[in-house]
Each structure stands twice: as structure tokens, then as C-alpha cells.
Structure 1
Amino acid sequence: MAPQYDVAVVGYGPTGLVAASLLGRLGHRVVVCERWPTLYGLPRLTHIDDETARTVQAAGDVDEALRDSSVSEYLWVNGKGETLVRIPADPEGPMGYPDHIAMYQPDVETAIDQRLRGYGTVDVRQGWAVTGLDQDDHAVTLRLSGWNTETSSANGPRDEVRARYVIAADGSRSRVRELLGAEREDFGFNESWVNVDTEWLRPQPPEFAYGTQYCDPARGHMTINIGTTRQRFEFALLPGETREEMTAPETAWRLLREYHDLCPEDVRIIRQLVYGFEARIATRWRTGRVFLAGDAAHTMPPYLGQGACSGIRDASNLAWKLHLVLGGLAPEALLDTYESERRPHVTALTHMAIGLGKVANTHDVGAAAARDAAFFAGKVPPPPPFPPLNGGVLRRESGAPVGTLTPQGRIRMADGRTGRLDDLTGYGFTLVTAEDPTAALGPGRIARLEHLGCSVVALDTVDDLDGRHREYLQRLGAVAYLARPDFVLFGAATDSTDLGALVDDLDAALSGTAKAVV
């Protein structure tokens, strides 16, 4: 049976939404299979970074998505309220957004959902659960059943869809992962916290306009703003406390009064549930034509604010690679670089999140006092920077910081159009040069870039309104840099002669003939 779709996306949370939207934007036939009949409509994630915001920009109306958002720093204090560390927020991050954004998840999901439904190539099938999976050399067949929300079971009508590839973004309890028989490695971090989401009934007090982690050995707790009108409160469960007890409304009000002096006149509770914080990574992310992404592939404690960001990176990484393979522009082996690129990155972030979680969850009073003293004495090093990609589709033997992220500023095109770089160049590879590269590249290489959908931005013909791209070239000591669709630096050219070699090396990397970056 011939495939009906190029890609099936299972799950319609942030990872699935971004994957479906980016693939739809690139013109592919996509089907989304989601068991719940509507978008969730309540916040789960509350924080994204500037890289994630830039991906949201590619997938939806980012201004609408972030309409109720704010710049949010993060404060860590001990049980006495004394500051251990302050993680500042840059309101103008290199991607064109604040590097720490408190946002309202339903706004983000709605903005992406509205965008992808306009492409005409994405079929969103909500209310359908995946119950079975078969694959052959050409495609994957998904067996579906209608989802009964009253009984939380798949006992409705039956159907099937067939796609050349599948992205399973169906959460930490992934049914697709279970069907594939993929195991998960458990990193041994398991904590239960009650989550109380609220909406302010009065103006948000200044002390709640940022995130605060209370590293109190008596009971760890935290608060973080959800944009500007809502607030999340979380409290660690103590030994003997049950899920039933901690999800009772009277428990929420007791904790809100005890720790924050809040009552029903201050806030309205919009969601209350117990979360299990865990750190687990699937032992394999690809099985034939099926790829795990987001929480289906990896989960981490929330202390770094990178769980959803990591899933959205998965979606962006997979989307452009699937696009090239589906269009015959790269061999299927390119898809193996998805896991080889993403697994080390997410593993490093998971260990960082676990480390922060251990700070927040120090229950021994003596150990907490020693921890505080180390912070006050300046003996605790700051969190390390996020790692670059260390392999995959990167220029070999390059002196440039390949695998790191490239910036986005505002530009004015020669025709007068003004806006963010990506809005004017589109979603794809981008070659930014100091001056017109036509002569240095020649017609053959120019044609190859066009075939790949690569945009060329010559800074001598546009206004670099923020100076961000020229400054980046200066830091690289380069005349040009080539960015992947997921904003990762593929490589840079030191002079006009090297520019042609940069394009040739991209061809080699995509075809699998380049040496691995070490």
C-alpha cells in the first residue's frame, strides 16, 4: 500500500506541534495523530529560552505566541530566604529574544496550531490513539482507535494511516516507544512535587515577577511566573504524603497560606496535580522509520527549564533532515545523525538538571548548612554553558566554533522589507557573507545552494540594523558563515577562496562523505 503521508507525527504537544508545522511549511504531507480531542489548554511548561523562541518563530506567529510573556530571572535561596545564586536574564539574547522567557503554553500551542492548519498539507486527527504499528522497507502503518475521554481508553472506531516516516512525540509514557520495545536508562533521580497553577485576581506583586527556588531542607518549594497574569507554585512531597492528599484543594490553600501568605482573594487555582520528576533517556531513538522525540525520548528534572526546549530542538533537528531525505537531496543515512547529535546534548543537560535538583532537594539540615556555606564562600562554580554539537552535520577540520548557535538580528533588505532575519530569509540553510559571494562561488555552487533552499544574505546589500551579524563575522574572523536550519553553525569561511570550500564541505557532510568532526 502506497504511503498516504510523508510523515506521521504522534502526539500534539510542543514537540509534535513544532515538527508538524516545520514539515508542513516545507511542503510535506503530514498527519498528526493525537488521542485527546483538543489542545490541552493549560500550562505545563512555563519557560523557554531564546533558541526555542526562535524555533517558535519558524513554526508559528511568535508575537502571538509570546503575547503574555515576560523576561524572567531565576533566584535560588536557602530555607532562611538568603540568596545562594541569582541567574540573570538577558532581555536581548543573541537569537533576538530574551534568553529566559516566562510564557503561557496555551498561547504558544494555539499560535503554532493556527499556522500549520493554514498550510493545506497537514491533516490533524485529534481524538485518535495509536494502538498498533507495522513497518516495512517503504513506510510505516499506524493502527488507530478513537479515544474515549470518559473512560480514558481507545475503544472507538478503527482506522489506519501510512507514512514514510513517523515521529513519536507522545510523551514520557509513549505508546509508540512501548510498541517498539525501546527501553529507557534511569539516571536515578525521582522526586514527587505538587504543582499548583494560579491566576492572579489582583496585580502581580513584584516579588512574584521572577522565579524563586527555595532550597529549604524542611520542604523544597518554588514559584515561577507564567507570563504576567499567572503564577505556578510547587511543593516537594514529604515522606508519608500521598498523591490523593496533595491534590485536595484544601492542601493547596494550606501551602499557599503557609509559604506565601496567599488566600482565595489573591489568586484563583486553575490546576493542581502531582508531578513525578525523573531523568530517563531511551536506549535508542530510531527504529527503522520511526523516531522518538521529546519526552518519548528523554525526560529530565525541571530545574534547568530545558525539558520542553530539548524536545523542540529534537523537532527542529529532525524536520530539516527529513525534508532533505524526502526530497532526494540527501541519503537516508543522514537521519542517523539525529540521535548522534541530539543524545549527547540532551544527556549533558540532563546531568546539569540533576545537579541543580540535588541542590534544591537537600533534606539533611547539616548538609544544607554546608551547601549554603559553600555558596556564600564562592566555592560553588556557576553552571557550565550548554555544550555545542560535537559531531554530525558540521564542517570537518574547521577552526570555527562549529556546533554552536548563530545569531538573529533585524535587517532591512534592498527592497525595503524590514524584520527579523529568519522572517525575511525563510526556514532553511542561510549563508551570511560580508559581501556579494556570487563571483567567489560561481554558478555551480550558487545553483547547489538554491537546490538546497539556502538563502544568501550579503551584508553589503542589506542593512544589518542591530549590527549583530557583522559583529558575529568579526568574532569568527570570517568573511562568511553557513547556518543550518536549526540555527547551528555548520562552518565559516576565512576568505573568498575558502567560501567555495565551505559549500563543497556542506555537500560532503550531507552526502555522508565528510569525515566526522572530533
Structure 2
Amino acid sequence: MADQNLLDVVIIGYGPVGQSLSILLGERGYDVAVFDRWPALYPLPRAVFHDHEIRRVFHAMGIGEDVESISQPSATYQWFNADWKTLVEIDWSAESISDGPVGYLFNQPSLEALLDRKAKSLPNVSVNQGWEAVELRQLPDCCEVVLKQGRMTDGTWLTTGETRTVRARYVVGADGANSFVRRSLGVTFEDLGFQEDWLVIDLKPNEGVKLDVPDIGQWCNPARPTTMVPGGPGYRRWEFMRLPHETLEDLQKPEKVWELLSPWVGPDRATLVRYAVYTFRSLIAETWRKSRVLLAGDAAHQMPPFMGQGMCSGLRDTWNLAWRLDLVLKGIASADLLDGYTPERRPQVRAVIDASIAMGKVVCISDPQEAAQRDEAYLSGQVPALPPFPGLTDGLIRADQNSAIGGIGGQLCVHGQVRNDGEVMRYDDAMPNGFHVIALDADPDLYLDEQARKVLALIGAQTIGITHDESRVAAGRVLFDVSGKYEAFFNEHGAKALIVRPDYYVFGAVGSLTELSGLVGMLAAGLALKAGHGAGQDCLASAQA
């Protein structure tokens, strides 16, 4: 069966990454179809952490308050040696640049249920579960995806024999580590060298049970490196590294699971939710785009879990892709805009993987002598502090302000509470998502020339002032900076105005408002803007012939 209509985007994979991209594109009005091999959502926990940046993305999808109801703010992330002496502390409970704590813990099935409900509520998003992609073809003006239907029978996926073909202007592979889309493109993974087997256990303590365990921590004990974290409200997770003498089969016996948990909890005090052995890897695809097909999430990268950034990185992919596809599908920008996706996302993810590997090497030491040397280095202060979270270092940022050289371009922009016309709210709730021109203590509209205004109107940009000076407030035009965070951010970077992208990263800044129109011109040059709106009609006509 061949579907005759030409979709805007087909997404292969319906985990959190595919779900989120379908929402972000669906809410922008695009015709999206998402397909997943499995007939139902995966019911067991996997990811447990999202950070402050991803919290903003959830709010942008309209599910922020729902996600907060199934999450809990993180405590300080602590790393202990075998004697429970603190080696490292990362304060994930501290105030972040995005307003609120750095991190949050959640239960993935609960999150996926929220994302699923939101995606299926959008009339232009078609969710198709139980359909496996088996063939992908790129034509001059669109893509064709051949799918076959299947169902679960006695725990095995079996095809029903029904097939269908769908056509779309773009295809995104969000189909996980064994991605069919990536393999179809012939894209290879670069192996960054980390590989360890860990037993992951999720359980639910019985009502009223309080466990004597660090809230969120790594026990860097060479006898058994161990991770202990919340699994979202009401859940706990342990992860145990496989030791050199153990087999995978050894770790997956129920009696072994309870033996490992016995210092903290027994079967009389908690119920096992699931346990499984995972191989933590460090892999990154060589490219994330080939013409009309793009990769996102685990299809493009995999990393050790020690920074909690696996799912977060996948959601950053979708957040980056959504605004690019928006401008391309509207015909405002040429497809060249998509060329910036890999150069932006890959270096940032590579830096996160490298940091995760470095942290993993601290944890995954099973030799007592090596562990003693590590402990001495950390306890004596010989180890430098962790570097700040990486920004963007390529792509659509002002080149001479690149975050790689300490500039503001590519840094995540500040977010906080503002007051507008007497009402205090999140800045993101006060202003619709998109490109933002923000000026300190002034209305930026007063400093834009006609050409800059045309560019900003074309891309749907917002212009707004923000101030911590009550005398400069103007309802709807210059908002009051409730916490003073914006004023501090601008002053730190010597900025009087800046342009923020739809994914909350700073394009660039100016030190004088008279330079603002020039900054808009730089943005326009980087956006590959074009006249008119493409429609893909040639592909549709040939498909119907």
C-alpha cells in the first residue's frame, strides 16, 4: 500500500527523541508521521535524569508542569571511595542559568506516557506503532520509506505481512543504537574507546520504607563500583559494574541481584521493577545528515551514563533540528541551513562523551592499587575541577564571539523570572519561542534599520527589552528582570543587546545598540535565507502518476 500524500517529515523511532520531535514539529503545524517497530511503549525505566536546559524544552512543548509532577530536583551528586570519603561533589541542586536547579530525576515510562499523550493530541501528527522500517529511498525531491507491520506474539515480534510506503520531504532516524536509518545511509560510528558492562536494577521501596543510601552518588569501590540514584519519585536505581571474573549470566540471576542489593535493601522491603545488563559504550556517528535524511539521539551517539546526558543530548538534537526544519519547510531558508546541524551538534556531544568517559574512568577501577592512587590524587586536591558544560563551537554563531575562545556566541542564554504589566512569569511564558533580539535597558526596535526589521519579520523574530531599573519598564516592550540574572549576564559579557536562537543558544552580541542592525545582518547571512516558499510538489506529482 502506497500513501499518496506527501508528508513534511517522517520520524522513525518513538522513544523520547522521536516523540519530542513529533511534538515540536506538530505544534508548528507540519504534517508528521512517526513509526516505531514496537506495538506499545517500552514499559520499563531507562533514563532517569534531565537537566535545566531540557526542562525549558519540556515547557516549550507544553508539558513542563506535567513533567515536574513526575520529577524531583536533584541533590548534590557525590562520588565516594571505598571508605566513603568524598572524592567529587557536583552540586546539581544549585541554581542553574535556566532558572531552577541544575538537574532533575524522573521515571522514564511516566515521561514517555506524557510525551505520547501530547503527540497523539496533535491532529497533524500520525503515530504508527507496530511498523518496522525496512527500506529507505532518497529521491530528488522527497524520500520514500517502506514499512512492514508486526505484532508481538509470545514475546516475539512477528510480521503480519502488511506493508506500506510513505513519502516525506525529510526523514529523521530516531531509532536507537541499532538504527535502521543510520545503516541505510551507510553512516559509520566512531568508537571513542569506552566499553563496560553494568547491571542496572530499578526497584520500588515498599510504602514507608526509608533506605540508608546516598541520595545520588557513585561508590568508587574497586571491589564493586556502584551507582546509586533516584529513579524518579518513589523509585530507586542501583548500577553494579561487572567484574573481570564474572560472566553476563552471573549478573542476571535473581539471587545475584538481591545479593548485590543486600547492603541496602532486601526483598521484604522493596519490589524489583526490572534488572538488565547494559554495555556502556562511547560511539558517535561520522555525519548526522545525508541530503534529506537526518539522525538524532542514540542513532547518532551513545555515551556512558555518568553525566546523565544520554537522553538530554538526544533532546538537544531534536530542539536544534526543529527550528531548522521549520525555516526550511516554510521556504524561508534553503536546505543549506541543515548543513549546520552536524557541525553544531557533533562537537558538543563529542565533548559531553569525552567528559562522560573521563568520569567513567574514575568510577570503573577494579584494581585496588590503581584505586588507591586515584583516591590520593582526588583527596589531595591534585585533580582539577570539571570543565563547564560545553556550548556550541561551530555553525550559526557569530564567529568572532565563539564560545570556544571564551565568547558569548554558542553559550546557553540566561533564563529567569520577569515582570510584564504587573504579572511575574517565566521569560519563556512571556515571549513566544523563536529568534529573540533582547536589549538591556532599552527597546531594541528603536535601534533597528529597515533592512534589519524585514529580516526579523521574515523569520518571525521577537524584539524585547529587559531591565532591572524600574524607571525603564514599558509594558510589553521592556520587561522587568525580577532576579537581576539578565542584567548580570549582559554585564558579564559586556553586551547591550544579543540575538538568541529558538533553541536558547546565543547567536552573538553587541556592545553598543548602534551595532544591532549589523548583528541582524550577520544572522541573515548565516541563515541561508531565500525568497519564496518551496512545496515539494514535483515529488508529489510523480508519486501520484
Q: TM-score, normalised by structure 2?
A: 0.89
SS in 2 for 1:185: strand
Q: CA deviation at 1:482?
A: 1.0
Q: CA deviation at 1:487?
A: 0.7
Q: Name the structure 1 match of 2:256.
A: 251
Deviations 1:311-347 (A, max 9, x none): 1111111111111111111111110110011111111
Q: Name the structure 1 match of 2:210.
A: 205
> Counterparts of 1:197-276 in structure 2 under 5 Å?
197-203=202-208, 205=210, 207-208=212-213, 210-257=215-262, 259-260=263-264, 262-276=265-279
Contact kept, 8 Å, 2:399 with 2:409, in 1: the verdict is: no
Give yes or no for the alignment of 1:328 onto 2:320: no
CA distance in structure 2 between the partners assigned to 1:354 and 1:235 by the alignment: 17
Give yes or no for the alignment of 1:172 onto 2:169: no
Give yes or no for the alignment of 1:455 onto 2:462: yes
Q: Name the structure 1 match of 2:538.
A: none
Give yes or no for the alignment of 1:413 onto 2:415: no
Q: CA deviation at 1:203?
A: 4.1
Q: How many residue pairs are counted as aligned between the two chains?
A: 510
CA distance in structure 2 between the partners assigned to 1:354 and 1:397 by the alignment: 30
SS in 2 for 1:157: strand
SS in 1 for 2:197: strand
CA distance in structure 1 between the partners assigned to 2:461 and 2:302 by the alignment: 34
Q: CA deviation at 1:450?
A: 2.6
Q: CA deviation at 1:156?
A: 4.1
**CA 1:488–1:98 in 2, change beyond 3 Å: closer, same or farther?**
same
Match of 2:510 among 493, 510, 513: 493
Q: Name the structure 2 match of 1:424.
A: 430
Consecutive unaligned residues in structure 1, runs of 5 or more: 514-518
CA distance in structure 2 between the partners assigned to 1:481 and 1:2 by the alignment: 45
Structure 2: which amino acid aligns with 1:188? G
CA distance in structure 2 between the partners assigned to 1:357 and 1:204 by the alignment: 31
Match of 2:372 among 369, 379, 401: 369
**CA 1:512–1:352 in 2, change beyond 3 Å: closer, same or farther?**
farther
Quick check: 297-306 or 106-115, which moved more?
A: 106-115
SS in 1 for 2:148: strand
Q: Name the structure 2 match of 1:516.
A: none
Q: CA deviation at 1:4?
A: 2.0
Match of 1:389 among 387, 392, 405: 392
> Counterparts of 1:472-487 in structure 2 under 5 Å?
472-487=489-504
Give yes or no for the alignment of 1:502 onto 2:519: yes
Q: CA deviation at 1:204?
A: 6.0
CA distance in structure 1 between the partners assigned to 2:239 and 2:497 by the alignment: 47
Contact kept, 8 Å, 2:285 with 2:300, in 1: the verdict is: yes
CA distance in structure 2 between the partners assigned to 1:452 and 1:190 by the alignment: 44
Structure 1: which amino acid aligns with 2:311? A
Q: TM-score, normalised by structure 1?
A: 0.94
> Counterparts of 1:17-36 in structure 2 under 5 Å?
17-36=19-38
CA distance in structure 2 between the partners assigned to 1:305 and 1:204 by the alignment: 26
CA distance in structure 2 between the partners assigned to 1:227 and 1:105 by the alignment: 8
Q: Name the structure 2 match of 1:45.
A: 47
CA distance in structure 2 between the partners assigned to 1:204 and 1:298 by the alignment: 38
Quick check: 19-28 or 504-513, which moved more?
A: 504-513
Match of 2:444 among 425, 437, 452: 437
Q: Name the structure 1 match of 2:65.
A: 63
Match of 1:196 among 186, 201, 205: 201
Contact kept, 8 Å, 2:332 with 2:529, in 1: the verdict is: no
Structure 2: which amino acid aligns with 1:116? A
Contact kept, 8 Å, 1:209 with 1:228, in 2: the verdict is: no
CA distance in structure 2 between the partners assigned to 1:47 and 1:111 by the alignment: 16
**CA 1:456–1:179 in 2, change beyond 3 Å: closer, same or farther?**
same
